């Protein structure tokens, strides 16, 4: 009986770490005064013309992340647009995640500036209480951040949104307690989840101001009006949420090159070639192929550019890597003054195979014929087949080619 009681008492506790306006803070660099004036992240080159994160002063004037650029400037003519720094944000965020992982947390990064981890497995590591876990995380981060804890991710996010630096908000209990805590909070909190980010505007227009009012609506009515998005919001408002999916900590292997003058075109391709060669020569690669790399650049006119390139198959061949990366480099929005290539994921070990072409053609054909005969003798006429192109241009893959008996 005692054991059963103890098991029911062990509840999931999710900790949410929130660094508000993380991307804007990183892009502003040492110009901290920018954050005290109306400022927002400029749209990314080549992307939709919408501003990114906005400073408190800009938000007071109605400019929010995702506001169309024209509307933002009309609302706030003195708005300062800060060039985005996706490479800097990714670097800094990665460092913070590694610091969190250093206390033993299995972290799920939601977006730069927002991450969650389960506290249950860390309690014994850090003295047996949640407060100590939060203290350890705060010390590890070495950066002012807000902490919230609750039985679900969304509840923890809501708690973190209302927490202050050094004063975490903890919602104890289970689903019912989470729903009770969320009931009085505004539906605007749904903007914190990208799946439900567009809902608050419609909900507010319909007079649904709090999550409690949303949770009280019939599920069928919410599904009818808002579809899957609404159903998810309804679940979140009732204190339920999906399970955490922590990331696998990546290995850090990167090469960077300073360009003496802003380069573009063929010269930039050469710089890329150099980076690829250097990266492949690193001892830490230990003969492995590369599955996914990240190409980033610091632009002459300010800001950075970043592109993640997953290869079609894991590569260790510099020529093939260059073919794939040069196409992405052509998308660079402005001349670059620094170029960086980092490995995000490794593939299996590269292996050298003997080529069939080393054999004399006649010997090879004779061996092939013998092999076909033996295979057919053992497994029937379908043992050796050849590919016959039928409708190469067909948009339905299974119509393009068939297998027919070999010879």
Partner 1 sequence: MSRFAGRSALRPAGRTHRLGQPRQARVDAGPLDGRPRTVDGRAIDAVRESWLVEDRWWSGSPIRRRYWEIVTTCGRNLVVFHDLRGGEWFVQR
Q: In what order do the strands lie in the sheet with 253-263?
A: 253-263, 336-349, 288-299, 304-315
Residue 398 sits in the site that holds partner 1 (CB under 8 A):
yes
Residue 338 sits in the site that holds partner 1 (CB under 8 A):
no
Residue 345 sits in the site that holds partner 1 (CB under 8 A):
yes
The answer to whether 42 and 82 have CB atoms below 8 angstroms apart is yes
**Residue choice 64, 132, 308, 338 for contact with partner 1 (CB under 8 A):** 308
Residue 348 sits in the site that holds partner 1 (CB under 8 A):
yes
Q: Of the candidates 180, 154, 156, 186, which has an alpha carbon nearest to the alpha carbon of residue 168? A: 156
**Residue choice 381, 392, 393, 407 for contact with partner 1 (CB under 8 A):** 381
Smallest distance, Å, CB 120 to partner 1? Answer: 22
Residue 403 sits in the site that holds partner 1 (CB under 8 A):
yes
Which region among 33-41, 115-123, 181-189, 309-317 touches partner 1 (by CB under 8 A)? 309-317
Q: Quick one: DSSP state of residue 135?
A: H
Q: Cα separation of 352 and 97, whole Å?
A: 37
- For 142, phi and psi rounded to 5 degrees? 55, 40
**Residue choice 1, 2, 380, 407 for contact with partner 1 (CB under 8 A):** 380
Q: Which two tokens stand for residue 3?
A: 């054991």
> Residues in contact with partner 1, total (CB under 8 A)?
35
Residue 135 sits in the site that holds partner 1 (CB under 8 A):
no
- Residue 270 Cα to chain centre, angstroms: 29
Which region among 75-83, 138-146, 156-164, 225-233 touches partner 1 (by CB under 8 A)? 225-233
Residue 249 sits in the site that holds partner 1 (CB under 8 A):
no
Residue 402 sits in the site that holds partner 1 (CB under 8 A):
yes
What is the enclosing helix (H) or strand (E) of 346? Answer: strand 336-349
Q: Cα separation of 300 and 307, whole Å?
A: 17
**Residue choice 1, 9, 10, 228 for contact with partner 1 (CB under 8 A):** 228
Smallest distance, Å, CB 310 to partner 1? Answer: 4
**Token pair 């005064």 in the structure block, residue:** 33
- For 335, phi and psi rounded to 5 degrees? -55, 145
Q: For the purposes of burial, counting CB atoms within 10 Å of the CB of 262, is it exposed (0-12), middle (13-18) or buried (19 or more)?
A: middle
Smallest distance, Å, CB 266 to partner 1? Answer: 27
Nearer to partner 1, 32 or 313 (CB): 313
Smallest distance, Å, CB 250 to partner 1? Answer: 12
What number of residues does the chain have?
407
Q: Cα separation of 302 and 103, whole Å?
A: 35
Q: Which two tokens stand for residue 209?
A: 């101001």
Nearer to partner 1, 64 or 291 (CB): 291
Residues 311-330 that bind partner 1 (CB under 8 A): 312-314
Question: Measured between alpha carbons, how far is residue 214 from residues 101, 217, 224 in Å?
Answer: 36, 5, 14
- For 388, phi and psi rounded to 5 degrees? -125, 120
Residue 351 sits in the site that holds partner 1 (CB under 8 A):
no
Q: Of the candidates 152, 180, 174, 150, which has an alpha carbon nearest to the alpha carbon of residue 240? A: 152
Q: Cα separation of 149 and 180, whole Å?
A: 15
Q: Which two tokens stand for residue 2?
A: 């005692």
Smallest distance, Å, CB 153 to partner 1? Answer: 16
Binding mask 264-293 for partner 1 (x = CB under 8 A): ---------------------------xx-
Residues 164-223 that bind partner 1 (CB under 8 A): 195
Smallest distance, Å, CB 372 to partner 1? Answer: 15
Nearer to partner 1, 288 or 338 (CB): 288
Residue 48 sits in the site that holds partner 1 (CB under 8 A):
no
Residues at the interface with partner 1 (CB under 8 A): 195, 228-229, 231-232, 245, 248, 291-292, 308, 310, 312-314, 345, 347-348, 380-382, 385, 387-388, 394-405
């Amino acid at each position: 009986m005692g054991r059963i009681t103890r098991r029911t008492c062990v509840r999931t506790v999710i900790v949410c770490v929130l660094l508000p306006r993380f991307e804007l803070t990183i892009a502003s660099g040492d110009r901290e005064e920018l954050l005290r004036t109306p400022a927002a992240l400029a749209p990314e080159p080549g992307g939709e013309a919408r501003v990114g994160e906005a400073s408190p002063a800009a938000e007071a004037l109605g400019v929010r992340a995702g506001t169309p650029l024209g509307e933002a400037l009309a609302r706030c003519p003195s708005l300062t647009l800060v060039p985005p720094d996706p490479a800097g944000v990714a670097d800094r965020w990665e460092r913070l995640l590694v610091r969190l992982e250093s206390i033993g947390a299995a972290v799920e990064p939601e977006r730069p500036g927002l991450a969650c981890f389960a506290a249950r497995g860390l309690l014994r590591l850090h003295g047996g209480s949640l407060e100590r876990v939060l203290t350890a995380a705060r010390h590890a981060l070495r950066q002012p951040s807000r902490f919230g804890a609750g039985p679900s991710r969304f509840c923890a996010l809501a708690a973190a949104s209302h927490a202050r630096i050094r004063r975490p908000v903890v919602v104890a209990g289970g689903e019912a307690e989470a729903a009770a805590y969320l009931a009085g909070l505004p539906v605007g909190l749904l903007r914190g989840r990208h799946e439900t980010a567009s809902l608050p505007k419609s909900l507010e227009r319909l007079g649904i101001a709090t999550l409690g009012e949303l949770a009280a609506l019939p599920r069928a009515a919410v599904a009818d009006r808002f579809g899957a998005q609404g159903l998810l919001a309804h679940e979140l408002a009732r204190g339920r949420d999906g399970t955490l999916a922590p990331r696998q900590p990546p290995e850090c292997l990167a090469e960077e090159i300073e360009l003496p003058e802003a380069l573009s075109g063929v010269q930039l391709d050469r710089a890329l070639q150099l980076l690829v060669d250097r990266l492949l020569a690193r001892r830490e690669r230990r003969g492995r192929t590369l599955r996914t790399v990240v190409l980033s650049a610091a632009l002459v006119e300010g800001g950075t550019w970043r592109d993640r390139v997953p290869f079609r198959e894991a590569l260790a061949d510099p020529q093939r890597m260059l073919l794939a990366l040069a196409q992405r480099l052509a998308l660079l929005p402005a001349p670059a003054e620094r170029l960086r290539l980092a490995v995000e994921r490794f593939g299996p070990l590269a292996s050298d195979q003997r080529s069939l072409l080393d054999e004399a053609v006649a010997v090879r054909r004779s061996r092939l014929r013998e092999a076909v005969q033996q295979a057919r003798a053992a497994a029937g006429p379908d043992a050796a087949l050849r590919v016959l192109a039928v409708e190469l241009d067909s948009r339905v893959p299974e119509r393009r080619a068939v297998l027919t008996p070999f010879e």
